[in-house]
Amino acid sequence: MGYFLQQLVNGLELGSLYALVALGYTLIYGILELLNFAHGDVFMVGAFLAAGAAAALVHNEIAAIPGGFVVVLMLLVAMGGAGVLGVAIERVAYRPLRNANRLAPLITAIGVSLFLENAVFVWVSPAPVLVPTNALVSQGVIQAGSVATPLTGLVLFAGALALMIALDLFVFRTRFGSAMRATAQDREAATFMGIDVDRVIMVTFFIASALAGLGGVLFGLRYASVDFFMGYGLGIKAFTAAVIGGIGNIRGAMVGGLLLGVLESLSGGFISTQFQDTFVFLALIAVLLLRPQGLLGQPVTDRA
Amino acid sequence: MSGQPAVFDGEPGHALKRFWESGPSGWNRTLTRPVVLVPFFVGAAIVPLILQYLEDNSSWIGAQYWTLILATCAMYACLAVALNLVVGYAGLLNLGFIAFFGIGSYAYALVASDQIHLHFPLWAALLVVIVVTLAFALLVGVPALRLRGDYLAIVTLAFGLIMTNLILDLDRPPVLAGHQFGPDGLNITNGTNGLHNVAPFSLPTSLPLLGDIPHYRMYYWVFLGFLALSIFCMLRWRNTRTGRAWVAIREDELAARAMGVNIFKYRLLAFCTSAVMAGIVGMIDAALVFNAYPENFAVQQTVQVFVMAILGGLGSLPGAIIGSIAFTIPPYVLQQFVFYKYLIISVVLIAVMVFRPEGLLGTVSLRPRKALGGTIELLTAESAEEVAEMPAVSGADAAEIEAVTGEIVTPEQKA
């Protein structure tokens, strides 16, 4: 039982990270019906920005800077940087193709993903970069009965959860949120209602990418190492989570992310670590076949 | 250029001008005529002999090296043509495409090496490769092709990742929930190391008139032969009921369905044929390099083949060849930039999609559709503009264009 609970806690921790990145996929899909394959790499760039900011401050021997301040700065740099990157990607690679055949933006998205990976590989670092977490956050471990989790894991979970609730409130309770939902439902009709669709799409990309940047910071604090290829694997998992929850559905992405994290952790713990990832993708295929709209998604009619 | 097509009469300058002005569909039509393709393939087959002659008669060495590059080039051309079938003809975004190449090479490596001590003759190995890739293609295709377009991309991507994981992890017996399946020493794929000492095909090492044939040259010819065969089949296929069905589905699925086209059947056919073609290319590659590597499944490879097919133009066979040449030869010539290879590839991919989505010779229009204007006035103005832009073609000519290139001659008018 203790082992099961431990796996569950690990799964929730991992799942909250998936959920953060999955939210980005889902927001962008909801608005543009675009599978933004580059989103995982935006997460990776965010993590690198955070690692860079942390390294610059910690290694400069400015001992007076408290760890908490550095973390706040990391958050600002990573979320702001990733957000701007997301907006730039939309501007350069997706906007010119907004009304094109659906194949075209999908292919550019793959191109952007490959570009970001290789840009970091070539210009930043081909090797993993360490994040000086020791100097930033407490390395304490929380023990509850037989279940233990590092403090950073708890921060990851709590931070992700808080952001998800905030996003949900933003989308469902504010004026701009309803503009976003209107754009998602029918872009043309939204234009007639006086909504600046371009601006809505831009802000959506900013929010989605900033969330990925936040995920990058939390990932760096929890796992202490970032590399140029990490966005690929995590991006695919997060994307899987978004699809399982019902792509385009914000609450679905959260549920899907947590579910996927738990599934991965439990299948790794009880069935086989060797085929952990295979189970994840089999779950994706199973969901797509049995309930293509995802767990919380609305059934969609085939748009030919 | 000796093989000028018969349609161009009059002075050569005039013919070239007319060729230039005929636009992508015209270039495509001209370049897929036998009078162009046959000399092209004969010329391509002679190139290694010329290289050999140069090496024998000068201080230059590198005939073997360049023949290997040519073989790589021909291999990518085969892959780009196969990808063109599934993406260009049928409009299915198969992101797990390269997995079928990997499956083919591993299937061949397993029945032609000491890994599980099987040494099949060529015809039996070919049969195994076809059956195995077909089985995997059906396994993915049957469920996935019933889904909406986007989801096919996801499922095929996930399939590619599952195959990578399996290849990397099946170097030991699978253990599920504490139960081990298979004996202790079970090692099917040899993990990250890949399979080595794969037997090459039992092909003659010398031919009458040509003398000794080095390994690389032989496989260059094998790839070239397979490329010619694929292109021949694809061109013939275009003109049949099947080819027209594919184009109809790609252009307007709803309309095709209304015409009674069995969408699922034709999509599955395109998906499986392309997968088997990729599998056979994988098999030839394994025999060429004596190895099957896990890198054969790398996603970057898929992107590379996509770039080739897209730069040349989706739906265009000469475009696929041009694309594969454009992305195979330069990395060898510009060795100092090899570090930036994928960076350059990704920039080209994005730039082509944004500025010329149909590629150099493409007949599949991925261009943004003009959004319907809010007023009738705008709508008619645009329609008038479109009509004015239409090339003046006679009825017979239009029918021929449609039959040969599969291009829909009237402009697409979807909302």
> What is the 3-class SS of chain A, one letter each residue?
CHHHHHHHHHHHHHHHHHHHHHHHHHHHHHHHCCCCCCHHHHHHHHHHHHHHHHHHHHHCCCCCCCHHHHHHHHHHHHHHHHHHHHHHHHHHHHHHHCCCCCHHHHHHHHHHHHHHHHHHHHHCCCCCEECCHHHCCCCCEEEECCEEEEHHHHHHHHHHHHHHHHHHHHHHHCHHHHHHHHHHHCHHHHHHCCCCHHHHHHHHHHHHHHHHHHHHHHHHHHHCEECCCHHHHHHHHHHHHHHHHCCCCHHHHHHHHHHHHHHHHHHHHHHCCCCHHHHHHHHHHHHHHHCCCCCCCCCCCCCC
Residues of A within 8 A of B254 (CB-CB) are 304
Whether B345 and A282 lie within 8 Å, measured CB to CB: no
Quick check: B374 pLDDT over 80?
no
* Range among A146-155, A204-213, B286-295 rated most confident: A204-213
pLDDT above 90 covers a percentage of chain B that reads: 20
Quick check: B183 pLDDT over 50?
yes
Whether A108 and B354 lie within 8 Å, measured CB to CB: yes
Whether B306 and A107 lie within 8 Å, measured CB to CB: yes
Strand partners, B340: none
Average pLDDT value for residue range A243-268: 87
Residues of A within 8 A of B163 (CB-CB) are none
Quick check: B324 pLDDT over 50?
yes
- Residue extents of the structural domains in chain A: 2-290
Whether A236 and B347 lie within 8 Å, measured CB to CB: no
Whether B176 and A100 lie within 8 Å, measured CB to CB: no
In angstroms, the separation between the Cα of residue A113 and the nearest Cα of chain B is 8
Quick check: B181 pLDDT over 60?
yes
Assigned token pair, B402? 């449609």
For tokens 């319907």, the residue is B372
Question: Nearest-CA residue of chain B relative to A92?
Answer: B354
Whether A232 and B299 lie within 8 Å, measured CB to CB: yes
Quick check: A136 pLDDT over 60?
yes
Residues of A within 8 A of B155 (CB-CB) are 284-285, 288
The beta-carbon neighbor of A284 closest among B93, B158, B371 is B158
Average pLDDT value for residue range B60-66: 85
Model pLDDT, residue A275: 76
Model pLDDT, residue B1: 42
Average pLDDT value for residue range B231-241: 88
The beta-carbon neighbor of A111 closest among B257, B350, B369 is B350
The beta-carbon neighbor of A99 closest among B148, B350, B368 is B368
pLDDT above 70 covers a percentage of chain B that reads: 83
Model pLDDT, residue B202: 80
Residues of A within 8 A of B365 (CB-CB) are 101
Whether B155 and A110 lie within 8 Å, measured CB to CB: no
Q: How far apart are CA B245 and CA B255, in angstroms?
A: 11
Model pLDDT, residue A41: 93
Whether A108 and B299 lie within 8 Å, measured CB to CB: no
Residues B130 and B276: beta-carbon distance below 8 Å: yes
Contacts (Cβ under 8 Å, ≥6 apart) of B307 = A111, B323, B327, B345, B348, B349, B352
**A267-276, B5-14, B101-110: lowest mean pLDDT where?**
B5-14
* Choice between B209 and B85, residue whose per-residue pLDDT is larger: B85
Each residue of A170-226: pLDDT tens digit? 988 999 999 998 988 888 888 898 899 999 999 999 999 999 999 998 888 888 888
Average pLDDT value for residue range A34-39: 87
Cα A35 to chain center, whole Å?
A: 13
Contacts (Cβ under 8 Å, ≥6 apart) of B209 = none
Residues of A within 8 A of B357 (CB-CB) are 97, 100-101, 104
Model pLDDT, residue B9: 52
**B113-127, B283-297, B325-339: lowest mean pLDDT where?**
B325-339
Q: What is the mean pLDDT of chain A?
A: 84
Q: What is the mean pLDDT of chain B?
A: 79
Average pLDDT value for residue range B216-230: 92
Model pLDDT, residue A65: 66
pLDDT above 90 covers a percentage of chain A that reads: 22
The single-letter DSSP state of residue B200 is: P
Residues of A within 8 A of B364 (CB-CB) are 101
Assigned token pair, A167? 């996003």
Model pLDDT, residue A141: 78
Average pLDDT value for residue range A48-71: 76
In angstroms, the separation between the Cα of residue A134 and the nearest Cα of chain B is 34
Whether A111 and B303 lie within 8 Å, measured CB to CB: yes
Quick check: A301 pLDDT over 50?
no
Count CB pairs under 8 A between chains A and B.
146
Residues of B within 8 A of A114 (CB-CB) are 300, 303, 342, 345-346, 349
Assigned token pair, B25? 């569909």
Residues of A within 8 A of B158 (CB-CB) are 236, 240, 281, 284-285
Whether B254 and A111 lie within 8 Å, measured CB to CB: no
The beta-carbon neighbor of A114 closest among B169, B257, B346 is B346
- ipTM of the complex model: 0.84
Query: CA angle at residue A291 from A287 to A294, to 5 degrees?
Result: 75
Model pLDDT, residue B396: 47
* Range among B204-213, B235-244, B401-410 rated most confident: B235-244
Residues A207 and A83: beta-carbon distance below 8 Å: yes
Model pLDDT, residue B76: 94
* Choice between A275 and B144, residue whose per-residue pLDDT is larger: B144
Predicted confidence band of residue B365 (pLDDT cuts 50, 70, 90) = low
Residues in chain B: 415
**Which phi and psi (to 5°) does residue B175 adopt?**
-115, 115
* Range among A224-233, B78-87, B181-190 rated most confident: B78-87
Closest Cα to residue B155, out of B141, B166, B168?
B141
Residues B361 and B322: beta-carbon distance below 8 Å: yes
Choices 2.60.40, 3.40.50, 1.10.3470, 1.10.533: CATH for A2-290? 1.10.3470
**A239-248, B194-203, B400-409: lowest mean pLDDT where?**
B400-409
User: B198 by DSSP, 3-state: which?
Assistant: coil
Label residues B307-338 b or e (16+ Cβ within 10 Å = b): bbbbbbbbbbbbbbbbbbbbbbeebeeeeeee
The beta-carbon neighbor of A99 closest among B87, B169, B369 is B369
Q: How far apart are CA B204 and CA B122, in angstroms?
A: 13
The single-letter DSSP state of residue B94 is: -
Q: Which of B83, B87, B154 to mutate to test the interface with A (most CBs of A within 10 A)?
A: B154
Q: How far apart are CA B300 and CA B312, in angstroms?
A: 18
Q: How far apart are CA B101 and CA B98, in angstroms?
A: 5
Q: How far apart are CA A100 and CA A94, in angstroms?
A: 10
Quick check: A270 pLDDT over 60?
yes
Predicted confidence band of residue A42 (pLDDT cuts 50, 70, 90) = very high
User: B47 by DSSP, 3-state: which?
Assistant: helix
Q: Which of A107, A124, A271, A287 to mutate to test the interface with B (most CBs of B within 10 A)?
A: A107
Assigned token pair, A135? 């100097």
Question: Nearest-CA residue of chain A relative to B364?
Answer: A101
Residues of A within 8 A of B259 (CB-CB) are none
Question: Nearest-CA residue of chain B relative to A187?
Answer: B371
Predicted confidence band of residue B148 (pLDDT cuts 50, 70, 90) = low
Model pLDDT, residue B389: 47
Closest Cα to residue A177, out of A203, A146, A142, A216?
A203
In angstroms, the separation between the Cα of residue A284 and the nearest Cα of chain B is 8
**Which phi and psi (to 5°) does residue B206 adopt?**
-150, 150
Quick check: B344 pLDDT over 50?
yes
Average pLDDT value for residue range A69-98: 90
Model pLDDT, residue A80: 95
Give the alpha-carbon dihedral of B206, B211, B214, B218, to 10 degrees: -60
Give just the sign of the alpha carbon dihedral A119, A121, A124, A130: positive
Residues A7 and A270: beta-carbon distance below 8 Å: yes
Whether B148 and A292 lie within 8 Å, measured CB to CB: yes
Closest Cα to residue B201, out of B111, B288, B115?
B288
CB atoms near residue B375 (< 10 Å): 9
Quick check: B208 pLDDT over 50?
yes
Quick check: B108 pLDDT over 80?
yes
**A35-49, A119-133, B141-155, B169-183: lowest mean pLDDT where?**
B169-183
